[in-house]
Amino acid sequence: MSELTDEYEVLSVEVGEHAERVATVAIERPDARNALNGRVRSELKDAVATAEADDDVRALVLTGGEGTGAFVAGADVTDFKGRGPVEQREASDRPRVYETVDDASIPVIARINGHALGGGCELAQACDVRIAASGAKLGQPEINLGLIPGGGGTQRLARLVGEGQAMRLVLSGELVDAAEAKEIGLVDEVYDEDDLDDGVYDLAASMAEKSPIALEFAKKAVKAGSRMGLEEGLEYESELFVQLFATDDKDEGIAAFLEGREPEFEGK
């Protein structure tokens, strides 16, 4: 049985309901359009860490609770009122939820079922793949509050869409619809609402069938591409590739291929 429970205050959790070995964690703050407050951040960090350690989970889907029109509408701005730099520096201590998601050893898919704004857009950027409903909107409107993105939006966004597009979104606070978000590279796939789950869980299921060790190493190698120089990245990729030759999963994968059957990876 999965170690993930549904005993969170502001999250709901499902494991295996949509696809085998796929967990879904949904933010459930309908009164605040799933905005990120301290409780949401704390519970999300715990849920991601628990999913990583759970042998029954090999892929994770993050999404917003239904019926709000939001994936995450942003940070809970009421938390900022009266807060000075000392308090905010304490609140910004790393690892934050964004780093927890970004550094997760298992694949994390953002199921963007509504608006992903500010911290919600940054949360989606921290995921490995972003799949949006056609009616979703995304953006970094912090500039309208006299602020800048503080959850990685000035860094991950530019790496996803390029500096020019990132400047446009961050400096104007403009929102883009899902189609334009796909066009500029902010999201990877867009589906009509009725087809969103098929798109998300078909992909998640295909990932969850793979070797957990290979998934982890593949994530590390791809992420290194935007964080290292080319030569350094190639060396890192080569080292990870070689290390996989010490795993039982590599032996199982090769044997299954030669025998014409589906592999049964155990994460060893």
CATH topology of domain 11-208: 2-enoyl-CoA Hydratase; Chain A, domain 1 (3.90.226)
pLDDT tens-digit map of 192-229: 999 999 999 999 999 999 999 999 999 999 998 888 89
Question: CA-to-CA distance for 57 and 208, rounded, in angstroms?
Answer: 8
What pLDDT is attached to residue 69? Answer: 87
User: How does pLDDT run across 229-256, given as a tens digit for each residue?
Assistant: 999 999 999 999 899 999 999 998 989 8
Per-residue pLDDT tens digits for 190-200: 999 999 999 99
Catalytic positions are: 122, 142
Task: Name the DSSP letter for residue 109.
Answer: E
- For helices 212-224 and 230-243, give the axis angle rounded to 10 degrees: 170
> DSSP H helical segments within 19-147, as ranges?
38-53, 85-91, 97-102, 119-126
| Residues 76-117: tens digit of each pLDDT | 666 665 666 766 666 666 688 999 999 999 999 999 999 999
- Spans of all domains in the chain: 11-208, 212-259
Band (74; pLDDT cuts 50, 70, 90): confident
**Distance in angstroms (rounded) separating the CA atoms of residues 249 and 110:** 27
The topology (CATH level 3) of 212-259 is Lyase 2-enoyl-coa Hydratase; Chain  A, domain 2 (1.10.12)
